[in-house]
Structures are given as structure tokens and as C-alpha cells.
Amino acid sequence: MSREGIFPTFFLSGFECSTFDWHDKGRRDLCEETQHLGHADEDYRMLRSLGIAVAREGIPWPLVDKGGSYDFSYIDPFLAAQRRYSIQPIWDLCHYGYPDDVDPFSDAFVERFVAYARAASRYVIERAHHGPPFFTPTNEPTFFGYMAGEWGWAAPFGKDRETRRRLTLALARADIAGVKVIREFAPEARMIHIDPLIWVVPPRDRPDLAEAAHRESYDDAYIAWDVIGGLRYPELGGSPEILDIIGFNNYSFGQMEYREQGPHAPLEPGDDRIRPLCDLIEEGWRKYRRPCIVAETSGLKGGRPDWLNDVVAESLAAVNRGVDLHGICLFPAVDMPDWGTGEWVKNGIADLELLPSGALMRVPYVPYVEALHRWQRRLNRVTELDDDPFDSAVNLEDIVQAAKEMKPEADADWH
């Protein structure tokens, strides 16, 4: 028995590609900070050696948009490496950054994004080595709303809940318009709409904040998906077909205790208010019933293998509940700096080690790689790509059968 998945491999990866205007540093380019731009060949070769044939990658809107004309030569090294090592890209078109000269709350923002989305998607589709093309028009519009609309970390440096919601709605509106313009000439294009899975609880001594915490978990957390999927603000043109594929990002800090002046405080391991990831995936999937992936997840430092084991087990438990899961993305492939402190997070498949020359050497974290390979073998997946990884998609029945045999239980204990 066979049921084709969306992707050629069940495990995916990706590269940190933020281009936000950061509050105390100005415009940033995380592909430069991690030297991914200069190490594209090595980074994609690593994915091939790991049996990963799909990678999230970014087109840096504020860096390629020259006021209506475009210079996409920035991404040519990525395109070349993807072709050389047979890696299918998922292109982020707006990864927290937009051009300096556009107001995200204006109609001009949508018009500018549509023009850019048309040009950027044409550029990569014309150079694609495998189809159909995949896009994430706006990455994490709900989280972008928080970090740039309420917490003031990045442009437009908002400081209140209303600005946060306005920014998320503006991004969702642009996203919908972007999907429509791409599908005018590439109707086969697939869209992956990505935001974090979150769970917010009131402080133990503040039951009066329970309603606010509930609103964060069940209203605000879903606003972008609701709009893009046509459940809210239908006049903006969203629909299930535009929502297409849902990407659930999952990190430990996504489960939080409510703070009246955010950001909220991450729950500590062992807190009895933590919910199983399986439950969160199932809730998100049942709301929309679209194909889904875990679009980002990673542990920290020495905890990466255990984190992967937990995430895969929870994901398989969700499969046993009927969730239509098509993949798990280990993000990032190479380490990234903490946005605020600049310290290396040590959450990648490979760590980065500064050499005397100034180059950042990629050093795979072996226990993490070994855990990945164990799961690939258990799920009947390859551990290294063959000459043509696109000759067949993942047989989802392999995933379903493994889930049935293992019978993983949803578990909130993520020590």
C-alpha cells in the first residue's frame, strides 16, 4: 500500500535568513552573519550527505528590491548549490524584513510585495531543477507581529497589542495577494504557511489573567492562519487553497507564562502546565485540516538528540490521531547567533567554529546526526540521497505503519 507525501524526504532542514531592521543594530543579514552565503555549496552538500532533500531558504526582500527593480544575483549561489546537490528549496519571500522605504500599514506595502513576489518567484521558477515550486510568502506573520509590533525588537518597532495585530493583518493581506499573483503563472506552486505553536498559561498567583492567556493561545496564536485560510476577514480573499500547507514551528520557549508586559516567560522543564506537542499539533491541524509539517524545531546544545527523539515521538503520536503530517524540519542546518546577544545558540545540525582566518567552520554535532539517522532508518527513509531523490515521494504509509507499531504516548515531560 502506498500514499504519496508532498516531499521526497520526511526530514527537512533550512537556513536562518532573517533580514530585519533590528532595534539597536540596523539592517541585518543572518546569511552573512552565519556565512551561509559564502558556504552555500558546503551547506547544501551536508544536507545531501544527511539524506535531507528539502531546505527552507530565503530571498532577502530588502536587499534585492531596488525600489521596483530587482537584483536577484544574491541567491545565485543557493540556486547553484540546490541544483548541484538535488535539494528542493522552500523559498521564504519575506523573512522578517521589508524595504526601508515602504510603510507596512499602507496599501503600497501590499502592492510592493505583490510586484516583488511576482519577480522573485519567476526568477527561481525559471531556474528550478525540480517542481513544483514551494513558497512561504511571509514567514511567521503572527510571530513577526509580536516581535516587531508589540515588543519593539525590529521595524516597525511597535509597542502595543493593537500595532501587533495590525502588523499581522498587513502581512496576511500581503501574503494572500502574493499567493494569488504567483499562481497566475505557476498554478502548480505550493504554499507553506508557517507560525509557531504556542501555549500560554496565567501565573499561578494571577488567576485574573487566565482569560488573557486563553486569548493568546486560542485567538492571537491563530490569527494569520485564520485570515489566510479565509476563516476571519474573508474580504481579504483568504481560502483553504491559499493556506494550502500549514507549518507548525515548535521550540521549548513556545510554552509560556503570561506577562502583562511581554514577552511572556518560557515555562521551565518539568512545569506541570506544559502540554504535549502532540496535543498542540492535533489542535492546529483539526482547525484547518490541511496537510502539515513541523516547519522548524531544534533543541539546544547537548539536548539536541533528546529533543529530536521527543519531537518525532510526539509527531508520530499525532499521526496516530489522524493528523496529515508530511515532514519534520530540523532548523537550522547550521548554527545561528542569538538575535539579541550575538552568542552562538548551538541549535543547528552543525555548530560553527571561528577559525583564525575569520571563516566559520561547519562542525556537525555527531549525537544529533546519529539520532537523525536512527529515525530515518526506523521510518524506512534513506540516510543519504541517491542520484535522483525526486524519483519518488515519501510513502506516508511507512510513517503511519511506524506510528502504529511504536504506539508513542503524548508526553508533556520534556526533560
DSSP per position, 234-303 = GGG---HHHH-EEEEEE-GGGEEE--SSSSPEEPPTT-TT---HHHHHHHHHHHH---EEEEEE---GGG
What is d(CA 193, CA 181) in angstroms, rounded to the nearest whole number?
A: 16
The reply to whether 6 falls in a domain is no
SS3 311: helix
What is the DSSP pairing of strand 54-58 with strand 11-14? parallel
Is residue 243 within 8 A of residue 290, CB to CB? The reply is yes
pLDDT over 90 (residue 412): no
Is 52 part of any domain?
yes
Quick one: pLDDT at residue 330? 98
For the CA atoms of 119, 120, 125, 131, the dihedral, rounded to the nearest 10 degrees, stands at: -130
Query: pLDDT tens digit string along 286-336?
Result: 999 999 999 999 999 999 999 999 999 999 999 999 999 999 999 999 999
Q: What is the pLDDT of residues 88-105, one digit of tens each?
A: 999 999 999 999 999 999
* Within a domain: 282: yes
**Gap between the Cα atoms of 338 and 253, Å rounded:** 14
CB atoms within 10 A of CB 397: 14
Average pLDDT estimate for 363-388: 97
Is 379 within 8 Å of 398 (Cβ atoms)?
yes
- Tally of domains in the chain: 1
By residue count, the chain amounts to 415
CA distance 218 to 200: 9
Q: How far apart are CA 203 and CA 152, in angstroms?
A: 24
Pairing, β 11-14 against β 325-330: parallel
Q: 386 in a domain, yes or no?
A: yes
Structural domain of 86:
11-406
CATH code (residue 23): 3.20.20.80
pLDDT over 80 (residue 11): yes
Residue 1: pLDDT band with limits 50, 70, 90: confident
Q: What is the pLDDT of residues 165-189, one digit of tens each?
A: 999 999 999 999 999 999 999 999 9
In a domain, 415, yes or no: no
Q: Read off the pLDDT band of 76 (50, 70, 90).
A: very high
Taking residues 337-359, report their average pLDDT: 97
Instruction: Judge whether 181 lies within some domain.
Output: yes
Asked whether residue 99 is assigned to any structural domain, the reply reads yes
pLDDT at residue 413, rounded to an integer: 79
Q: What is the mean pLDDT of the chain?
A: 97
H-run or E-run covering 400 = helix 396-406
Q: How far apart, in whole angstroms, are the C-alpha atoms of residue 118 and residue 335?
A: 31
Q: Tell me if 1 is assigned to some domain.
A: no
What letter would DSSP give residue 177? H
